[in-house]
Amino acid sequence: MKDSLLQSLERLRAEFSGQLADASDEAKLLEVKTEYLGKKGRLTEVLKEMGRLSSEDRPTVGAKANEVKEFIDAQIKAALEKSKSAAIESELAKDVFDITLPGRPEVLGHLHPVTQILNLSRDLFERLGFATHTGPEIEDDYHSFEALNIPANHPARDLQDTFYLKGKNWLLRPHTSTVQIRVMEKQKPPLRMIAPGTVYRSDSDVTHTPMFHQIEGLWVDEGVTFADLKGVLSLFVQGLFGESVEVRFRPSFFPFTEPSAELDMSCFSCKRQGCNLCKGTGWIEVLGCGMVDPEVFKFVGYDAEKVQGFAFGIGMERLAMLKFGITDLRLFFENDIRFLKQF
């Protein structure tokens, strides 16, 4: 009995080895495994016979049976590993991956042309010691008009086609001059500030959009003169368009500055010969400015006998159009990537 069992076990091992050599893939290997080690497997069948052995013979046969079981287990495991890596090797050999292909590059965007000009302008003013302030885009009548010396029913209100909200007291600010008032209310002079931001007017054509951007500027101190205004704004314009650009100041009107002026720069495109860009005049209008009207100082409690100041407001889209040679302002806000990519 004992000997025949030992023989069976040896035979089992030999047959298993033969079958293993023939098993070509994972599925076959698993089949072979169940054939020998499964619940109704061949080794299991042999082990059942062991019950009939004498207690003396049992350990010898048991040890042998264990040895064969471990052998089969280990062989199957090794063969499975081998077949797995062989599968990977053969996939790779098929050339489905070209590991030498370059990766997909990360597509990087860039700042909107108007933002670029706004940042550039801000840098120029910060270098001259102007601190940046912001204010709300939804404003009240007082900060938009009243405190800027534009009383109700004054014809100067017609200069701006304003978006009103909920009656006549709340509106989308039509200019950043509102921030002048808000900062002066909080801060005593001397003051040197800019206020970049979004403004709104009910206006739409090739050079106007209902929403656009301005930078407001204000310098208040004892003894600030129109010469300071000229110096600062000339440096700004030349910083943006080059040192060879000339500036001139044309009398104008704003209710909150007196005297008021428009700053023109010499046309950088034709060098004042006259071209399409400057409409044949040799000059391009850039911004509005002036000395702060003493009436405005009264509203914020500044002593107009002691301090003087100048203010200016610059349209960013207009500067960006000039700087980049764009003729239709609306293109800035259509978000056509083919357009924006060019700047």
State CA 49 to chain mean position distance. Answer: 76
- The binder of ligand PHE chosen from 313, 316, 320, 321 (CB under 6 A): 313
- Residue 254 and residue 292: Cα distance in Å, rounded? 10
- Interactions with ligand PHE, residue window 207-236 (CB under 6 A): 216
- The binder of ligand PHE chosen from 312, 317, 320, 321 (CB under 6 A): 312
Count residues near ligand PHE (CB under 6 A). 11
CB of 174 closer than 8 Å to CB of 141: no
Task: Measure the CA dihedral 124/178/173/169, to 10°.
Answer: 170
Identify any residues that bridge with 251 across adjacent strands, giving them in sequence order: 261
- Which residue, 69 or 175, has its beta carbon nearer to ligand PHE? 175
Task: Measure the CA dihedral 17/21/26/31, to 10°.
Answer: -50
The distance of closest approach from Cβ of residue 215 to ligand PHE in the complex, given in angstroms and rounded to an integer, is 10
Query: Is 257 near ligand PHE (CB under 6 A)?
Result: yes
Q: Taking contact as CB under 6 A, which single stretch among the options 43-51, 132-140, 237-245, 285-293 is the one that binds ligand PHE?
A: 285-293
Identify any residues that bridge with 132 across adjacent strands, giving them in sequence order: 194
The distance of closest approach from Cβ of residue 342 to ligand PHE in the complex, given in angstroms and rounded to an integer, is 28
Q: How many CB atoms lie within 10 A of CB 191?
A: 19
Nearest C-alpha neighbor of 241 from the set 161, 330, 294, 319 = 319
The distance of closest approach from Cβ of residue 98 to ligand PHE in the complex, given in angstroms and rounded to an integer, is 59
Query: Is 311 near ligand PHE (CB under 6 A)?
Result: yes
- Give backbone dihedrals phi and psi of 239, rounded to 5 degrees, phi first: -60, -35
- Which residue, 75 or 180, has its beta carbon nearer to ligand PHE? 180
Query: Is 145 near ligand PHE (CB under 6 A)?
Result: no
| Residue in this structure with the two tokens 């890596």, named with its chain if needed | 85
- Which residue, 236 or 312, has its beta carbon nearer to ligand PHE? 312
Per the document, the length of the chain is 343
Q: Taking contact as CB under 6 A, which single stretch among the options 5-13, 14-22, 105-113, 286-294 is the one that binds ligand PHE?
A: 286-294
- Interactions with ligand PHE, residue window 91-120 (CB under 6 A): none
- Which residue, 41 or 189, has its beta carbon nearer to ligand PHE? 189
Give the DSSP per-residue string, 285-297.
EEEEEEEEPHHHH
The distance of closest approach from Cβ of residue 327 to ligand PHE in the complex, given in angstroms and rounded to an integer, is 22
| Pair type for strands 191-200 and 164-165 | unpaired
Give the DSSP per-residue string, 160-176.
S---EETTTTEEE-SST
- What secondary structure letter does DSSP report for 279? T
- The binder of ligand PHE chosen from 23, 289, 320, 322 (CB under 6 A): 289
The distance of closest approach from Cβ of residue 337 to ligand PHE in the complex, given in angstroms and rounded to an integer, is 31
- Residue 47 and residue 8: Cα distance in Å, rounded? 11
Query: Is 291 near ligand PHE (CB under 6 A)?
Result: no
Q: How many CB atoms lie within 10 A of CB 227?
A: 9
- Which residue, 113 or 288, has its beta carbon nearer to ligand PHE? 288
- The binder of ligand PHE chosen from 177, 215, 255, 267 (CB under 6 A): 177
- Which residue, 76 or 286, has its beta carbon nearer to ligand PHE? 286
Residues engaged in binding ligand PHE (CB under 6 A):
175, 177, 216, 254, 257, 288-290, 311-313
